[in-house]
Amino acid sequence: MTNILIFGHKNPDTDSICSAIVYNNLKRLQGMDTEAVRLGELNDETKYALEYFNVSAPRLVEELKEGQHVILVDHNEFQQSANGIEKAVIREVIDHHRIANFETAGPLYYRAEPLGCTATILKKIYEEQSVHIDKQMAGLMLSALISDSLLLKSPTCTLRDKVAAEELAKIAGVNLEEYGLAMLKAGASTKDKKAEELITLDAKEFILGDDKLIVAQINTVDEKEVADRKEELANAINSEISKKSLSAFVFVITNILTSNSEVLVLGAKQDKVAAAFGKTLANDFMTLEGVVSRKKQVVPQITEEFTK
């Protein structure tokens, strides 16, 4: 059994997968017995990045064994982590999200910074420890950054993220804009995906007081293409609500070209979700102009409404 597993959250996105690989590369170079793994299936965007830079996908882990040593990247909340995380030994956390529902029995190295992407933190760690960033690792960090920031357009994207992206693009030998748009478009096709897949591709669970919600997001170049499948989506979402006893399910459909989102909200407390944005739902939908970031423009507003 590998001594230490490194992984991101369930329903992994590009940052989650790439950051696990990049941090594993650093740890292996330093002589540690680590392995990058994943907690779910890869989305098309992540597949594009891995194939472009000729990097193999991490193996899938469905449940941790008791006493397994782990390092978490791109998350910290237990409900978003591996099955069995409560019986694992958490050695480190590298993250850029809020800290919630997190507790360990012993001390650990914890690094959380308010940046647009976990990969930006990892680039800093490589530089701090004077470790060379090769073309592959630069490409993966860049891919993670592009994904989390929607090609540097998200309000979560800081100046440090933008500088890092420019530097990483040079090392990776790609044009930032051209590669970024191609990667995002690779992950934006929805026609061949079932509703059940669309709502779980990038879904995160949040516990807000006595309420449990899921906020899922998908990027597209045509939000109407997704929204027109409302009946199919609603059936899949209502099944999730019943199965997981959710107060609400929030499905954010983000157009990567216009930077606007159509949001489908279902569940007993759907109106409370809408109230968080000063909106009234129309056929269970609301439009959020200029909203692309779940972390900064969706979750904080819902959290405030549900915990006040």
Q: Residues annotated in the binding site, as ranges?
A: 9, 13, 15, 74, 96, 148
d(CA 279, CA 260): 15
Facing residues of 203 across strands? 216
Contact 109, 70 (CB under 8 A): no
Q: How far is CA 263 from CA 199, 268, 274, in A?
A: 12, 16, 9
DSSP 8-state assignment for residue 64: P
CA nearest neighbour of 180 among 204, 203, 161, 196: 161
Full 3-state SS string of 131-188: CCCCHHHHHHHHHHHHHHHCCCCCCCCCHHHHHHHHHHHHHHCCCHHHHHHHHHHHCC
Full 3-state SS string of 31-45: CCCEEEEECCCCCHH
Which two tokens mark 75? 């998350």
Binding residues for Mn(2+) are: 9, 13, 15, 74, 96, 148
